[in-house]
Amino acid sequence: MNDTVTILGRVGADPNRSETTSGVPVVNFRVASPQRRYDSKTQSWIETGTNWYNISAFRQLADHAKASLRQGDGVIITGRLKVREWETAGRKGVSVDVEAEAIGHDLRWGASAFMKANRLAPSQQAAHDPDGVDTPPAADADTPQADHELESNDEAEEGEESSMALSGSGWGSTD
């Protein structure tokens, strides 16, 4: 299966980072995506259940996800869907996995500031990412560099953190 999906949801627990046997960084976490429908009789949105997805990210994306995501964060994830059946000790089930290609904060729920990753020396890039996937091209003197600073929001306190429950009021509203 090579289906690409986009998921909007909330991080269920802080991402867990590990490495494959060949030393490639991998991060795993779960995302809850509530399903809703509009009830014309009550003129309100009704939650009809929550889909849970197992998310995996590799290499630089794994490191950036580990540094950026926390439980409760609203996220948008694009990746390859893998549905697999499992059986353990007589119990059967289905696991819905997504190998992430891109992960970002869902800005409907808060502000996020982008911080460019430090550029590694070519020898460090090879050690960190031996197959070259996800490695940006090295900048040279002729390559323009764009560094943008975000203006701070006067209403937000420095260090202020907000978290929303995985369910409850306000989940799908855009008010």
Residue 3 is predicted with a pLDDT of 87
Give pLDDT tens digits for 110-166. 898 888 877 544 544 445 444 444 444 444 444 344 333 333 333 333 333 333 333
Give pLDDT tens digits for 72-120. 999 999 999 999 999 999 999 999 999 999 999 999 988 988 888 775 4
Give the whole-angstrom CA distance, residue 80 versus residue 53.
Answer: 12
Residue 97 is predicted with a pLDDT of 95
SS3 33: strand
Say how many Å lie between the first and final Cα of the chain, rounded: 37
> Angle CA(54)–CA(57)–CA(62) in degrees, nearest 5?
130
Tokens of 100: 């992430």
Residue 57 is predicted with a pLDDT of 98
Q: What is 3-128's CATH number?
A: 2.40.50.140
Residue 119 is predicted with a pLDDT of 54
pTM: 0.63
